[in-house]
Amino acid sequence: MNVKLTLLDTGYCRQLEMFSIKGGRLKSIDFHAIAALIEHPVHGLYLFDTGYSPRFFEATRLFPYALYQKITPVVTTPQQSIKAQLSAHGIEAQRISGVLLSHFHADHIGGLQDFPGAKLFCFSAAYEHIKGKRGLSALREGYLPDLLPSDFEKRVTFVDHGVPKALSQTYQPFSQAYDFFGDGSMLLVDLSGHAIGQFGLFLRDQEQGDVLLCADAAWSSTAYRQNLLPHALAQFIMGDIRSYRENLKRLHELSVHWPSLKILPTHCAEVWQMSQGVFAWRS
């Protein structure tokens, strides 16, 4: 079954390109945090991640969390929050049935508290890794505890507690995924590495065809096309560098043998430019 995918830019942080990709320039680039609205014809409205929101500034006011904002200065406005963007298109927050959280970095959970009625979905490995962390141990994981709703555990479903199904040859080298609705429309695949327990989402847009939202398993389209790791320093922040390498290589292989698949990294500038043409708001 096809869905409708809309990509939403929630703001950006600045980083040196040389940290994001080996051989990159000593030049500041904007790292946009893109979240996605998914409209399913039967099951309604879902979000893939929630990007930044102004709550980020509140959550980084005090030490040690203030270091986060110092290391990666963030630019976002109230109008760029997912909630505000949905509202501007006539969709109130309570219409969002569920939020899929690829992982718990602050630029993916920033808007989460704007959807208090939504069910939440993630991999248990991702949550177990950040659960209860505060202060520097949270910051080390790129996680800001104040962004997580206090009733998170009551609302969450751990997708990886289900039984994965085997994928067809088309998805090789990925061999299994969690069929979110049981209708094949949204397939969650383990992309652990950048963060432990991070997943990606295969879906088929009604106009643009097959898409893989790969979150931060690659930081740019160049990275998966050329199988290029980030700078050695940036590799330190990865949850598990070995898995990261393996999954980046898998993405590379997938892109080679399935060239029509649109692989969309969360922070890729090229994806954001392209999305304004094809994954922007459509009536």
DSSP-assigned letter for residue 75: E
> Which one, 105 or 262, has the nearer CB to Zn ion?
105
Q: Does 49 bind Zn ion (CB under 5 A)?
A: no
- Judge whether 180 and 159 are in contact, CB under 8 Å: yes
How deeply is 237 buried, as exposed, middle or buried, from its count of CB atoms within 10 A (0-12, 13-18, 19+)? Answer: middle
DSSP-assigned letter for residue 21: S
In the bound complex, what is the minimum distance in angstroms from residue 183's beta carbon to Zn ion? 29
> Which one, 114 or 216, has the nearer CB to Zn ion?
216
DSSP assignment of 155-219: HEEEGGGS--EEPPGGGTT--EEEESSSSSSEEEEE-TTSSTT-EEEEEEETTTEEEEEEETSSS
> Which one, 107 or 205, has the nearer CB to Zn ion?
107
Residue nearest Zn ion by beta-carbon distance = 105
In the bound complex, what is the minimum distance in angstroms from residue 105's beta carbon to Zn ion? 3
> Which one, 179 or 216, has the nearer CB to Zn ion?
216
> Which one, 40 or 105, has the nearer CB to Zn ion?
105
Amino acid (1-letter code) at residue 21 = I
# chain residues binding Zn ion, by CB under 5 A: 2
In the bound complex, what is the minimum distance in angstroms from residue 108's beta carbon to Zn ion? 6
In the bound complex, what is the minimum distance in angstroms from residue 107's beta carbon to Zn ion? 6
The contact mask relative to Zn ion for 51-70 (x = CB under 5 A, - = no) is --------------------
In the bound complex, what is the minimum distance in angstroms from residue 103's beta carbon to Zn ion? 6
> Which one, 105 or 250, has the nearer CB to Zn ion?
105
Residues 6+ apart with CB under 8 A from 60: 66, 68, 69, 144
DSSP-assigned letter for residue 80: G
DSSP-assigned letter for residue 141: T
Rounded CA gap, 140 and 134, in Å? 10
Q: Looking at residues 80 to 109 of the shown chain, list those that interact with Zn ion (rule: CB under 5 A).
A: 105
Q: Looking at residues 204 to 223 of the shown chain, list those that interact with Zn ion (rule: CB under 5 A).
A: 216
In the bound complex, what is the minimum distance in angstroms from residue 266's beta carbon to Zn ion? 7
Report the interface residues with Zn ion, using CB under 5 A. Answer: 105, 216
